[in-house]
């Protein structure tokens, strides 16, 4: 088994974080410094910062309506980090990010394998948002958001965009560039006043209020690792 998978299965972190730990020299296998791609077998002693990995605990999959002001990080030194906010008994981490000024649906787990399945671009998991901007929306703005906007030297992928009111629209993305929607809107001179994520794949925020959490169902967990899973077009996310 690859070392990053072994670490993530302990619930210590995601595979991506495990790779960062390995690259930083924090991980040893049988007393020797590990390298990216290292394979481990049963009986090998894996230490992080000189300490053994935690015993594998029950898998946790929860949905949170992240309020504004909470930061999607596991770093304990960051005030208002999402792990402290949730206060779960298990060591969990967020799947992807939702910036501090945004709110809405975010998933947390201790299963590093499922993180990779959700975040892989080729799986095409949709993410749906409701966005309020200023000034009022124009048809040109909506068309540009749907077609793709050049930000940071690259053009965003086409998206599904629907007007909801004079200042609010729904957008469905299949990619997740850093602060993508805010940067797209800024590029068309319509800064975001409110941004709320309502759906990830087939999982919807539903009636979760800011700060509320719920466990995912077995069906939702299975759907997370399946490519191109989306909710029906009349998703209850639009009412959350």
pLDDT per position as a tens digit, 91-127: 899 988 899 999 999 999 988 777 766 666 555 679 9
Indicate which residues carry an active-site annotation: 99
Please tell me the distance from the alpha carbon of residue 238 to that of residue 240, in angstroms, as a whole number. 6
The pLDDT value given to residue 232: 45
Class of domain 61-119+209-226: alpha beta
Q: Comparing 3-52 with 61-119+209-226, is the CATH topology the same?
A: no
Average pLDDT rounded to a whole number, residues 183-199: 97
Closest CA to 96 of 30, 16, 155, 18: 16
The pLDDT value given to residue 237: 35
The pLDDT value given to residue 42: 87
E runs forming strands in the chain: 27-29, 32-33, 46-48, 51-52, 61-66, 93-94, 103-109, 127-133, 150-151, 154-155, 160-163, 168-173, 192-200, 203-204, 213-215
- Residues 120 and 44 sit within 8 Å (Cβ to Cβ): no
CATH number of this structure's domain 3-52, picked from the four choices 3.10.290.10, 3.40.50.10860, 3.30.390.50, 3.30.360.10: 3.10.290.10
User: What percent of the chain shows pLDDT beyond 90?
Assistant: 68
Hey, what CATH topology would domain 122-200 get? Pseudouridine synthase (3.30.2350)
Please report, for the chain, the start and end positions of each structural domain, with discontinuous segments joined by +.
3-52, 61-119+209-226, 122-200
pLDDT per position as a tens digit, 17-53: 999 999 999 999 999 999 999 999 988 999 999 999 9
Q: The whole model's pTM is what?
A: 0.74
Mean pLDDT score across all residues of the chain: 89
Alpha carbon 82 to its chain centroid, in Å, reads: 12
């Amino acid at each position: 088994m690859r070392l990053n998978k072994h670490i993530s299965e302990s619930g210590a972190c995601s595979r991506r974080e495990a790779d960062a730990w390995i690259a930083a020299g924090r991980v040893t296998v049988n007393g020797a410094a590990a390298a990216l791609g290292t394979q481990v077998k049963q009986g090998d002693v894996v230490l992080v910062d000189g300490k053994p990995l935690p015993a594998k605990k029950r898998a946790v999959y929860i949905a949170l309506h992240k309020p504004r002001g909470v930061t999607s990080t596991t770093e304990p030194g960051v005030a208002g980090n999402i792990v402290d906010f949730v206060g779960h008994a298990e060591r969990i981490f967020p799947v992807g990010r939702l910036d501090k000024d945004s709110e809405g649906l975010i998933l947390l787990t201790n299963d590093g394998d499922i993180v990779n399945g959700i975040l892989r671009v080729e799986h095409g998991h949709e993410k749906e948002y409701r966005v309020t901007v200023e000034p009022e929306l124009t048809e040109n703005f909506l068309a540009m958001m749907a077609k793709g906007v050049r930000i940071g030297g690259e053009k965003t992928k086409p998206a599904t965009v629907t007007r909801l009111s004079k200042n609010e629209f729904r957008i469905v993305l299949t990619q997740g560039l850093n602060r993508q929607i805010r940067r797209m809107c800024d590029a068309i001179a319509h800064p975001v006043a409110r941004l709320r994520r309502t759906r990830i794949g087939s999982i919807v925020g539903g009636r979760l209020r800011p700060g509320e959490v719920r466990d995912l169902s077995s069906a939702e967990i299975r759907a997370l690792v399946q490519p191109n899973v989306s909710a029906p077009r009349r998703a209850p996310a639009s009412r959350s």
